[in-house]
Every structure is written in structure tokens, then in C-alpha cells.
Amino acid sequence: MKEWFEIRVPVTPASEESILNFLFELGSQGLQQLDDEVWAYFSSGEAAEKLLKEIDDFLTRLPQFGIEAPAGQATFVSVPEVDWNAEWKKRFKPIRVSDRFTVKPTWEKLEEPETPFVIEIDPKQAFGTGSHETTKLMLQLLEQHEVTGLHVLDAGTGTGILAIAAEMLGAAQVLAFDNDPVAIEAAHENVARNLADAKIRLLVAAPDNCGIVPRSFHLVLANMTKNIIFEHFAALESAVAAGGHLLLSGILATELDEVRARLSHHPELEVKQKQALGEWIALSVQKHA
């Protein structure tokens, strides 16, 4: 039987996304998320000691990126072979994420949906199953806006959930991009699965190089970490049309004052709504003329 080993890595809400991305880049064949740990699985052909050192080195470098490093170090556990994909699929069930949206995996049946809209997702390795609080918050904010006929930008689309939701709500056009080609591949498949003749344009790009025309979108959706929002804030803000809204998620409650301080430098921007779930915050920010 093929042997595997498990590396358990401490995480915090602020560091979780960065650590998950790093473990994927190291070649992890599966990830299991707990409240304060991520368990990453590697084949026994990998050099465990080398991986442990690389992970611990990465944890110590997190403060350089403005992210507080979690306490503790990565630890090693030997485990027998498991079909990680099958195990993960057992845990991904249909989720009612808001009043109007349910997100379900492609392999699950849903006999009687409780919401008007059901989004079918096969996430592959992209972020966005609807289970994370930041995605739920964004969908909850999105459905509270009148989207019909609007032009929508989905920055960092992941699996495409928000772009799909925007078109289901009646958006006239949607531009969605992500800097991860795997995410855009998954998003293409999910768009085709959920929408006929979709008006969603998908690009592999970052906010600063995706060809955004200033003031061209009525809604700009940014489900990112606070640091990434700040890094690309000029591009995101410039894309919002006068009277339009910038929806921000991926903000920890402890970061809210810092985000408000950043927004205060833009007198044309006004926070119109705040949504909270667990440790996370989402904001709807309007740009006045």
C-alpha cells in the first residue's frame, strides 16, 4: 500500500489563505481545514524534513507581508493511503448561503431547493465552495443590491460563484478575473454548467493588468484579504462608476478600523452597509459623483 504523510500546520483566520496557497504550491495532494490547523497530505516520496523546513520558514516570513504568524510549528504524521478526493467530497454538501442562493457540489442531488437560485460548483483546486464566511457574506450583500441591467466586475473570481450569481440576478455584463489559471479553468466549467449563453467574460489577470476601463462598472466585487485589497485598491476603486458600489469581503473584524481609515482618504466613498459573520466582515461602499 502506498504510504502518505500528513503535515499539520497552525493557522489563524488572517493567515489561512496564504498558508493554503503555499501548501498547494509545495505539491500537497489534499488539504483538510480545522479551526486552527490545516492538515496537508503528501506522498511518502516527498522529503518530509525539507517540506517541514520550507513550511516553518514560510510561517516566519508572514509578518513581512503584514500577516501575523500563527503560534507553533508544522508537525509530521505518517498515515496510510486514503482517497483524499473522495473523503473531501463527503464533506462538501449543499449549503444555503443566503435568502436567494444555495451552492451545491455537482455530485450531490438536491430534490427540493429552499432558495430561488442554485449554483452548482466543482471547485477543483480553486477557492469558492460557498462554505467560507467571506463568500457567504459577499452573496448576502450582492443579493441586497438591484443587479438587473448592471455591469459587474468580479475581482479574484475563484470558482466563479459571484460572477454566476450576478448574472442569475440579472446583470447585463460580467467581467471576472483571477491570477490563477486553475481557478479560471474551473470558473469556465462552472459558468457553462449553470448558465446558457452566459454574458460572463473570464480572464487570467490581476486587477492592475486586466484592462479595466475607469468608472465602467456599477458593481465591483472584491472577495480578497485585506492586504490584497489594499495592494490593488487604486485599480478596484477606479473601476467603480459614479453612484456604483464596491463590495469588499475577506476582512477580519479586527481589521475593520484599518479598512475604514483607508476609505476615509477617499471622500467620494461612503460605507453604506456592513455585514458580519463569525470573525469576518463585508462592506458595501458607494462612490458618489
Domains and CATH numbers, the chain: 3-88 (3.30.70.1170), 92-287 (3.40.50.150)
Q: What is the model's pLDDT at position 122?
A: 81
The interaxial angle of helices 181-194 and 161-168, nearest 10 deg, is 30
Q: Are 252 and 226 in contact (CB under 8 A)?
A: yes
More confident: 278 or 287: 287
Looking at the predicted structure, is the pLDDT value of residue 131 above 80? no
Residues 89-92: contacts with CB within 8 Å, 24+ apart?
A: 92/123, 92/129, 92/131
The arithmetic mean of pLDDT across residues 59-88, rounded, is 79
Average of per-residue pLDDT across 189-202? 93
Angstrom distance (rounded) from CA 207 to CA 187: 17
When pLDDT is cut at 50, 70 and 90, the band that residue 141 belongs to is: very high
**H or E stretch at 257:** helix 256-263
Q: Which residues pair with 253 in a beta bridge?
A: none
Per-residue model confidence (pLDDT) at position 127:
55
pLDDT for 56:
93
Identify the band that residue 240 occupies on the pLDDT scale cut at 50, 70 and 90: very high
Q: What is the dihedral of CA 259, 261, 262, 264, to 10 degrees?
A: 120
Average pLDDT over residues 7-32: 86
pLDDT of residue 189: 93
The C-alpha R_g of the chain, in whole angstroms, comes to 19
pLDDT by residue (tens digit) across 35-45? 789 988 887 76
pLDDT at position 123 is 67
Please indicate whether residue 222 or residue 35 has the higher confidence score (pLDDT): 222
Task: Please give the residue that has the higher pLDDT: either 185 or 124.
Answer: 185
CB 130 within 8 A of CB 139: yes
pLDDT at res. 126:
47
Across the range 219-239, mean pLDDT stands at: 92
128 versus 101: the higher-pLDDT residue is 101
pTM for this prediction:
0.75
pLDDT-derived band at 66, boundaries 50, 70, 90: confident
CB 114 within 8 A of CB 130: no
- The pLDDT score that the predictor gives to residue 84 is 52
* pLDDT score of 47: 81
pLDDT at 172 over 60: yes
Burial of 224 (0-12, 13-18, 19+ CB in 10 A): buried
Band (pLDDT 50/70/90 cuts) for residue 86 is: low
Q: How many CB atoms lie within 10 A of CB 84?
A: 15
Q: What are the backbone dihedrals phi and psi of residue 84, each rounded to the nearest 5 degrees, phi first?
A: -65, -35
Please give the pLDDT value at position 55.
94
Determine the 3-state secondary structure of 269 from DSSP: strand
Sign of CA dihedral 18, 266, 208, 159: positive
**pLDDT, position 80:** 62
